[in-house]
Structure 1
Amino acid sequence: MQATLSPPSTVEYGFRRVIVTITAITCALLEIIDTTIVNVALTDMRGNLGATLTDVNWVITAYAIANVIIVPLTSWLSQQFGRRYYFAASIVLFTVASFLCGNATNIWELVAFRFIQGLGGGALLVTSQTIITEAYPPEKRGMAQAIYGLGVIVGPTLGPPLGGYLIDHYAWPYIFYVNVPVGIIATLLTLTYIRSPHYGGKRKASEVDWLGIFFLIVAVGSLQFILERGQEEDWFDSGLIILFAVLAFLGIYCFVWRELVTPNPVVELRVLKNRNLAIGSVLSFVLGFGLFGSTFVIPIFTQSSLGWTALQSGMLLIPSSLATGFMMPVVGQIIQRGVSQKYLIALGFSIFFLYSLWAYQLIMPSTSSDDLFWPLMVRGFGLGFLFVPTSTLSLSTLHGKEIGQGAAFTGMMRQLGGSFGVALISTYINHQNQQHRVDLLPKLSPYDWEVTQRLQMMAQNFRTQGFTADQALQQAQKLMDLSITRQAALLSYMDVFLGIGIFFVVCVPFVLILRQDKPKGAVSREAMNAH
């Protein structure tokens, strides 16, 4: 009875739905932009705060760990405190922490405030999806997920160019200050328009699953630490990484055991019995891998190999994000007309493979923004076919408080997929760089006539600039070594694009053989017509 009455209490119409949607999508954008906007400011932060490169990387790590910890807890916290007040409190926490980040006087203050900001931000992302989903009637959930997807897809792309602009024209604290006025407005709109559904009362302190919360923090916090810091710590050659790997394994095992035996679990794992949600969670992981992985590798490639600025790299991604935004409502309408989500997801994977293959063939020292424009547009269209069907499939047969629980699972899996993607790509690039360099060096034999001629020409060029014969030869050798390093890097990026493409195309047959439950929207529509 409760599940039947709950959806109408949260469905909005007309002006209220518009305001609720704008509020939720703005908050989702705030959180996601802040995951990438900091990347272009690390150098300035390092110089201004007197930090080492290792220290300043904790600015990213602390935020990511806090995000992943809070995401699974958002559904339970919403029920405990009421969605409206929990969402508003999360916005306030995020906004205040943003202001404190901008005023940090040393690197560890900034890391601490970023962790607090991540606790507020992770809640914004998942709760926004739940709010938007429940604000629309069940038969329009495809369109609701399309609107939410705009923030999730566009957010990571807007971060680098916005950060680059603010740093070029102002200073790094302004990448945090920009959140303050938006956060204040969003808080006021939340308190005025967001409703709190009634899915059960608050639990007493003695009924709260404190042990489950502890195991969750240990599990996902340790896992995220491994993914964020593994590359720098040389993975399992580091005792620290091994320690956190053991903690992650024990934390996950104990958390799953605890949530399945306690009468009041903090995360309802049983909801994963819903086949669509289980499938959608796996697909969300794959989507996060492709989205954040490709968003990570493109700026790295253009800045390190092509010499672009952060602003130029960020601007390159904007047209493809607009293409994704254009596709979102189109795909939402296609779903509403009854096309199976699995066919759209398979199409999205195939398009993403074409983009990866195209980029693989284009990479060279002379690659320009014009060369990358159309492949990135194809990427944008592919993501449009992936996000909406995946989100709709995940939540299509859920109702009541299950929607919030499902959104938390898919959100966490998307974040973890992104973390896995960035970690694996970073490690793979370093490994391939070394391997390609080893393969290329033997080709620079001093007995090779072409190599000798090129080296002599380069040395002659340095002699004309005033270098002695020995100095000119040394400079020529350094320049040739640098060219080998660049060539090895280009080959590594080619390998990455091809690898991502193969990973996605391999997923296609598995998606096509999936058997999904009947969408809830169809049942709801019939019920509404009968009513």
Structure 2
Amino acid sequence: MQQPLAAQAPALPTGLLRVIIVVTAITAAVMELIDVTIVNVALNEIAGALGATIEDVAWVVTSYAIANVIIIPMTGFLAEYFGRKKYYLASIVLFTAASYFCASSTSLWQLVLWRFIQGIGGGALLSTSQGIIFDAFPPAKRGVASGIFGMGIILGPTLGPFLGGVIVENYHWSYIFYVNVPVGIVATILTFLYIAKKPGEGTRKSQIKIDYLGITLLAVGVGSLQYVLEKGQSDDWFESKTIVTFTIAAVVGMVGFIWRQLTTDHPVVNLRVLSKGTLGVTTIFSFVAGLGLFTSVFVYPVLVQRINGFTPTMTGLSLLWPTLVGIPLFPLIGRRLSTGASPLPFIIIGMCTFVVFGFYSGTLNGQANQWDFFWAQMMRVFGVTMLQLPLINQAVAGLPPQDFPSAIALNNMIRQLGGAFGIALANTFVTRSYAQHRGDLVSNLDPSNPLLTERLNMMGGASQRAYKLLDLTVDKQAYLLAYLDTFRLVGIFFLLILPLVYFLRTKKKSAAEIALAAKAMSEAH
């Protein structure tokens, strides 16, 4: 018996229509990915323009990551509740509007607020774009779809620092956000005209219950924890009533969120899947992977601009070339995983590479040039490439197919949370390490040392100007040592969890399980 027309699968797009759909989805995804990294090379300029410290301006990055942490696990639910096309369209509009207001911000905290809202809109663009591209291809060609999208995943973060460097060096920092506006408008029009609705999307709205309490507890818990991590050092930790208050809010929020998700019939994040397969251990690796990626990409531009004298464009280029070299690895790894290869060897290689990256980066100095940093950045790119898809693949290992979307969404949330935590940790660690190194350096400034006398004479003798220059030199050296310590800390994190790979071992998946995992990864990222 023939199915009713409404129940039949829609005809797949072909020719120019498919090209338009793929270009639209890739554009939206790349726009979001660019904005994750484009601000990193502009932090010095934003801090100077808005009268903020580097430590405070880190909130421009962190607020976006927090919004992603909150919204990413809910994208599947929201797309089902409102309908994928409506939710996708609304997310593009929100992201574009927030980009305009980011550019128009006249204070740091105004910018932080709009970055948070931008992150709420951007959180849906990546996974939903992937599902749209996947649905535009027949089953036999969905490997091609995954490859196309995988290239976009690498392209966005690659272009971000370079594009940001060119804009900041030649125009005002606000244009790193204004550039999203025309792109967002075009993506909005193309989505409205050419992205089709899925059969029955949005029709189950009355049957879906929203876990308002769970969403609130997640936002309060993550937001409060991030505030404590960011401001604890400068506010003298628990000597501050504000820090104590936010600590209590963080504990109540996170514990309440976990309790709520384990007891409600309609959780916004299905935490029950953590007890199945290797997902519980995999999330530890994803957390540290997010920490390593976000921390290294946050610290590096500040280091080379503040200490090594790189311009924003030089900084962007120094991140661009290593990434371009590493791009071909992405589809190769995806192809190997799609044939049933175990993700475990890739994960081990990626972890070990990040250990080497952390300790090697910690040996560089203030005279290092772009080529000296090239090999360190190559290791970072190689490590990220070896971890990204294999960790998603490992997240669903040993799980029943119906749990794949929940597991992937949770794994992605944990990775973003690791990134937000990493940036906060880097800020706190740099502050403490800088104070320690400065104290050590100053204690070794012996007035009777002829080398010190010679240095002062080179600076103009024992004058106020010479002592000021000496103080700036000590300051610069202390910051250099603090940033290098941060890279080593990243390496230590990866080294500490490396033994846990023992618990990631699983039996080989069947062909049917591989196909289901590939479909789930395409739809849930």
Smaller-chain TM-score bracket: 0.7 to 0.9
Residue number in structure 2 paired with 1:285: 287
1:104-115 equivalences under 5 Å are 104=105, 110-115=111-116
**What is the Cα deviation at residue 322 of structure 1?**
1.4
**What is the Cα deviation at residue 174 of structure 1?**
2.1
**Within 2, Cα distance between the matches of 1:355 and 1:376?**
8
Residue number in structure 2 paired with 1:510: 500
Amino acid at match of 2:498: V
**What is the Cα deviation at residue 267 of structure 1?**
2.6
2:453 to 438, 451, 456: 456
Residue number in structure 1 paired with 2:125: 124
**Within 2, Cα distance between the matches of 1:299 and 1:12?**
44
Amino acid at match of 1:283: F
1:351 to 350, 353, 378: 353
The runs of 5 or more residues in structure 1 that have no matched partner are 1-7, 464-468
Residue number in structure 2 paired with 1:29: 30
Name the count of aligned residue pairs: 508
**Within 1, Cα distance between the matches of 2:435 and 2:479?**
9
Amino acid at match of 2:70: I
Amino acid at match of 2:368: T
Amino acid at match of 2:378: M
Matched, 1:490 2:491: no
**What is the Cα deviation at residue 330 of structure 1?**
1.3
**What is the Cα deviation at residue 158 of structure 1?**
3.1
1:35-54 equivalences under 5 Å are 35-41=36-42, 52-53=52-53
Residue number in structure 2 paired with 1:4: none
User: TM-score, structure 1 length as denominator?
Assistant: 0.83
Q: 1:461 to 1:384 in 2, by over 3 A?
A: closer
Partners of 2:278 and 2:503 within 8 A in 1: no
Q: 1:260 to 1:485 in 2, by over 3 A?
A: same
Partners of 2:401 and 2:513 within 8 A in 1: no
Residue number in structure 2 paired with 1:311: 313
**What is the Cα deviation at residue 282 of structure 1?**
2.6
Partners of 2:322 and 2:378 within 8 A in 1: yes
1:336 to 319, 338, 347: 338
**What is the Cα deviation at residue 314 of structure 1?**
2.0
Report the more deviating stretch, 408-417 or 109-118.
109-118
Deviations 1:336-394 (A, max 9, x none): 34321011110111122222333233x12321112121232222222211112112222
**What is the Cα deviation at residue 334 of structure 1?**
2.1
Q: 1:101 to 1:132 in 2, by over 3 A?
A: same
**What is the Cα deviation at residue 245 of structure 1?**
1.8
Partners of 2:83 and 2:201 within 8 A in 1: no
Residue number in structure 2 paired with 1:89: 90
Q: 1:143 to 1:445 in 2, by over 3 A?
A: farther
**What is the Cα deviation at residue 255 of structure 1?**
1.8
**Within 2, Cα distance between the matches of 1:386 and 1:136?**
26
Secondary structure of the structure 2 residue equivalent to 1:516: coil
Q: 1:418 to 1:136 in 2, by over 3 A?
A: farther
**Within 2, Cα distance between the matches of 1:109 and 1:333?**
44
Deviations 1:62-111 (A, max 9, x none): 43433322222222111101222211211111112223333446666544
1:113-262 equivalences under 5 Å are 113-131=114-132, 148-191=149-192, 192-193=194-195, 195-196=197-198, 202-204=204-206, 207-262=209-264
Amino acid at match of 2:452: L
**Within 2, Cα distance between the matches of 1:142 and 1:282?**
28
Deviations 1:388-434 (A, max 9, x none): 21122224666877444333212211111111112222222222222
Q: 1:484 to 1:98 in 2, by over 3 A?
A: closer
Partners of 1:20 and 1:194 within 8 A in 2: no
Report the more deviating stretch, 296-305 or 123-132.
123-132
**Within 2, Cα distance between the matches of 1:495 and 1:445?**
25
Deviations 1:469-506 (A, max 9, x none): 6xx34444444443333333333333222232232233
**Within 1, Cα distance between the matches of 2:439 and 2:517?**
66
**What is the Cα deviation at residue 30 of structure 1?**
1.8
Deviations 1:419-467 (A, max 9, x none): 11122222222222222233333333234xxx2x23333444455xxxx
Deviations 1:9-57 (A, max 9, x none): 6997875776555444432322232233234445655676x66558866
**Within 1, Cα distance between the matches of 2:483 and 2:129?**
35
**What is the Cα deviation at residue 221 of structure 1?**
2.5
Residue number in structure 2 paired with 1:5: none
Q: 1:437 to 1:207 in 2, by over 3 A?
A: closer
Q: 1:171 to 1:507 in 2, by over 3 A?
A: same
The runs of 5 or more residues in structure 2 that have no matched partner are 1-7, 519-525
**Within 2, Cα distance between the matches of 1:390 and 1:488?**
37
